[in-house]
Structure 1
Amino acid sequence: MDKNNEIRKGRHCLYDLKAHLVFVTKYRYNVFTDEHLKRMEKIMRDVCSDFGCELVEFNGETDHVHLIVSYPPTTQLSTLINSLKGVSSRLLRKEYPDLRKRYWNNTKLWSPSYYAGSYGGTTTEQIKQYAQNQNRPH
């Protein structure tokens, strides 16, 4: 994809579909450090790639993350979200067993709810700035 041209091409269509996603930890526990967020970004980038999507922006704080995802019209957003949350929860609980015991009771990382919004009236840069300005832990 050409970074300067936000219109993507599918086999039979042109599209510019982006979603701003927010996932919060179960019970809004303050779980994440910068190390966790770096690993989570890699995991979520890989999941997006598997779906033919692009993770445009990622950032977070100790209890939630923001993602901006560009996705094709063939991808069902709820399926992508379930995969993003499921894979990241499973891998982070596996890779950080000390946090699993302390915060996630061996079962859940994310709250079952999430925010998903499109942003037709806002530029990608404005949404990116919002995501970048999160109070990321050090």
Structure 2
Amino acid sequence: MIKFVNAMKGATARVITNRFPRLKEVMWNDKFWLPSYFLATTGEVTFDQLKKYVENQGEER
């Protein structure tokens, strides 16, 4: 899993810094991402259920 995460972080960093080159002026030691990451699973829910849950965060029931 960590190889996949690192590959995604590398690819997205290249795309973003190529599209917005001025970001390189404010990056720390030429690093776009921190070395850490967070991964969570959602169990047996559909994408639509998960999306609705996230969209409704903070709303009173």
TM score, norm. by length of structure 1:
0.33
2:37 alignment counterpart: 114
Bigger Rg over Cα: 2
Q: Deviations over 1:74-127 (max 9, x none)?
A: xxx22221111011112212221112212x146111121111111215x13232
The DSSP-based 3-state class of the residue aligned with 1:93 is helix
The DSSP-based 3-state class of the residue aligned with 1:117 is coil
Answering whether residue 7 of structure 2 is matched by residue 83 of structure 1, we say: yes
Q: Name the one with the larger strand percent.
A: 1
Match for residue 21 of structure 2 among 89, 97, 103? 97
Alpha-carbon RMSD: 2.4
Greater relative contact order (CA < 8 Å, ≥ 6 in sequence) = 1
Structure 2: which amino acid aligns with 1:100?
K
Q: CA deviation at 1:133?
A: 6.3
- Percent identity among equivalent residues? 33
Structure 2: gaps (5+ residues): none
Runs of 4+ in 1 over 3 A off after TM superposition: none
Number of matched residues? 55
Structure 1: gaps (5+ residues): 1-76
Q: Name the one with the larger helix percent.
A: 2
